[in-house]
Amino acid sequence: MLNLVLFGPPGAGKGTQAEFLIESYGLNHLSTGDLLRNEIAASTPLGMEAKRYMDNGELVPDSVVIGMIKNKLEAQTDAAGFIFDGFPRTVAQAEALDQLLNENGTPVSGMLSLEVVKEELVARLLNRGKTSGRSDDQDDSVIENRINVYNEKTLPLKNYYAAQNKHFGINGMGSIEEIAARLKEAIKAL
Ligand code: B4P
């Protein structure tokens, strides 16, 4: 079973590359950002709570996100593998994911970390904000906060996975096709 964690700062191309990986490897896609936006669109209590954090570029509380992933994993027992996109984002989330997957004897295969310079991240997000309608992509200070929150709370996960020999840095600069080819090489070596 191939369980990939697709990692990187906001705008690194996680969602973009996830689409390619799903197609190439037949994996189930679990994007916490998409799941949360679905909850917001459906105006559920969970969505309304999450929106307050997302609009400010803050992380949604661990308990909410972990509960959501647990439900999805339990509902998809026939999957060939998963691509985790935007999850885990904190050490507590990574520990919870390890526990959930280890219970099934199907641990994380590798964490693929897309590396992109800050100027490019900001440019990509502002560009998406022109058409996506995503409020968190339209405001410079919210984007700045998302990147700061990433550096403070999410970046430490590199060490978490490196300690398990599961961290693989990938150059996330260049065309979508070039980056997809680099990911494929890294997956071959897993
Ligand atoms: P996400 O939905 O995960 O948003 P993101 O970090 O911006 O990444 P995304 O996948 O959308 O963008 P991508 O890099 O693919 O999270 C949104 C919010 O939800 C968070 O801020 C947080 O509040 C909350 N949340 C989500 N998960 C959570 C968790 N686990 N715990 C707590 N809170 C959580 O792409 C960005 C843009 O770049 C796209 O427009 C794309 O077209 C473009 N692009 C991609 N590759 C490119 C390339 N090579 N060249 C040029 N442009 C490229």
Question: For residue range 91-140, what is the model confidence (pLDDT) as tens digits?
Answer: 999 999 999 999 889 999 999 999 999 999 999 999 999 998 888 999 99
Q: What is the DSSP string of 161-175?
A: HHTTT-EEEEE--S-
Options 70, 134, 153, 182, the catalytic residue: 134
Q: In this predicted structure, what is the pLDDT of residue 6?
A: 98
Assess whether 134 carries a catalytic annotation.
yes
Residue 44's SS3 state is coil
The segments of the chain whose pLDDT lies below 70 read none
Residue 125's SS3 state is helix
CB 82 within 8 A of CB 30: yes
Assess whether 124 carries a catalytic annotation.
no
- The minimum-distance atom of ligand 1 relative to the CA of 173 is 49
Q: In this predicted structure, what is the pLDDT of residue 133?
A: 87
Assess whether 166 carries a catalytic annotation.
no
Q: In this predicted structure, what is the pLDDT of residue 190?
A: 92
CB of residue 154 inside a 6 A radius of ligand 1? no
d(CA 190, CA 183): 11
Q: Whose CA is nearest to atom 16 of ligand 1?
A: 33
Instruction: Judge if the upstream peptide bond of residue 88 is cis by omega within 30 degrees of 0.
Output: yes
Q: Which two tokens stand for residue 83?
A: 């691509």
The amino acid at 5: V
